[in-house]
Structure 1
């Protein structure tokens, strides 16, 4: 088995893998933001990396270090910027960091890149970074990029098993059952189940205000209850994510 994590490889081993095998390289994109009292601030990057590593192990890929800072946390899906520890980037900064990293990977000779978004608010700014990088590299560059949000690969059947009382939607799942279960599966030592709050589900009006109103968000930062989360659900979701992502990536990059 080849090593999976890029930052644990020597430059020579990395160079040879890229030149000889043309592996799929994964770029996880997370955030540093509050995830309630029971999950760590780095949950988004940790999970995007764990998902990427599970898939990379199956297809002999390489996982680059995560982009661990994300776009500003929004009240309706991340709780907002008023929480201590939430440390965010302006949109232009995230766009440029994404562009720079992709441009560097192309310089290394990477031809197949999967950008795995683990922070809801990152989506369009990461997309812009991809677009700018490819525009700068030009049409002759052989690099091809997939961008995905890993949660989109969970099927309705699995969500129905994880949420027997009804799925509240991905936006309200911030620090709730999905993320808590996946963290219990991948990083149980970082989860404090004894600190689970009883907040949520949050109820937001169909509009936003600026400056945002912190009082819209439950004091714990959890937008719907994480009660019912467990490692078995995390394992079920992780297995499905791996299987479906492997199939999608193999299909997209089939020679």
Structure 2
């Protein structure tokens, strides 16, 4: 018996039966983006996929293939386009990708969908994608349909953030490739992290505006916007527990 929670691991008859069972379908949204010298380009794919897998196992759900490309990396939140390996989608394209996946899930009678975002710049394009999907489906045909959209970092409890940052939290924008993401990766895929290669040239001191076409000079050369010091497996496990636990609670509440 195939007990995988990943939709793509199943044959189509197996997928049909799993969907018919009525469990939620999770759609992780990621990116292929630089994460310093010490982590792989797929951080924003690995983290939401791993969280979705854990939650899906707990609630009897399925995980759709992760969208591996994200909306344009920006200098003040992801380092920007200057780093090799980062592959961007325009906001319009990203929104249409999300739209089409959601519409096709609806066509296959999926009515409980959880969109979990792992890339900061995906926030508004993912919202637009959901709105466009509802336009295509028809606002008058959405009885029984519920789509939850979540940014995983929002579920870190204040107590956990205070434990990780006793001297003050730099904010989610500057946490790119820094303690939170590095700790999560140490807990999920330590083989993709090499702290010995981390360069400590942050934190960035950004001006409160954007400049085009040349990115601001304040982007640290390493691509790490804050710091990696203090990253641990234990902190990653704290963050995973916060996110997975809160998502399970919300799904049990929303999908009664």
Would the aligned equivalents of 1:82 and 1:214 in 2 still touch at CA under 8 Å? no
Residue of 231, 234, 237 corresponding to 1:235 = 237
Would the aligned equivalents of 2:178 and 2:228 in 1 still touch at CA under 8 Å? yes
Residue of 145, 149, 152 corresponding to 1:150 = 152
Would the aligned equivalents of 1:51 and 1:242 in 2 still touch at CA under 8 Å? yes
Counterpart CA distance in 2 for 1:212 and 1:157 is 39
Q: CA deviation at 1:167?
A: 1.0
TM-score (norm 1): 0.96
Q: CA deviation at 1:214?
A: 4.8
SS of the aligned residue for 2:70 comes to coil
Would the aligned equivalents of 2:31 and 2:70 in 1 still touch at CA under 8 Å? yes
Partner of 2:226: 224
Counterpart CA distance in 1 for 2:220 and 2:121 is 19
SS of the aligned residue for 2:55 comes to helix
Q: CA deviation at 1:143?
A: 2.6
1:177 has 2:185 as partner? no
Partner of 2:211: 209
Q: CA deviation at 1:212?
A: 3.6
Gaps of 5+ in 1: none
Partner of 1:100: 100
RMSD: 1.1
Partner of 1:56: 56
TM-score (norm 2): 0.96
Q: CA deviation at 1:193?
A: 1.2
Partner of 1:91: 91
Partner of 1:187: 189
Would the aligned equivalents of 1:80 and 1:214 in 2 still touch at CA under 8 Å? no
Counterpart CA distance in 1 for 2:145 and 2:69 is 24
Would the aligned equivalents of 2:210 and 2:216 in 1 still touch at CA under 8 Å? no
Partner of 1:122: 122
Partner of 1:5: 6
Partner of 1:135: 135
SS of the aligned residue for 2:65 comes to coil
SS of the aligned residue for 1:216 comes to coil
Counterpart CA distance in 2 for 1:83 and 1:174 is 14
Counterpart CA distance in 2 for 1:2 and 1:144 is 25
Partner of 1:67: 67
Counterpart CA distance in 1 for 2:227 and 2:194 is 14
SS of the aligned residue for 1:58 comes to helix
Partner of 1:33: 33
Q: CA deviation at 1:107?
A: 1.1
Counterpart CA distance in 2 for 1:171 and 1:91 is 18
Partner of 1:244: 246
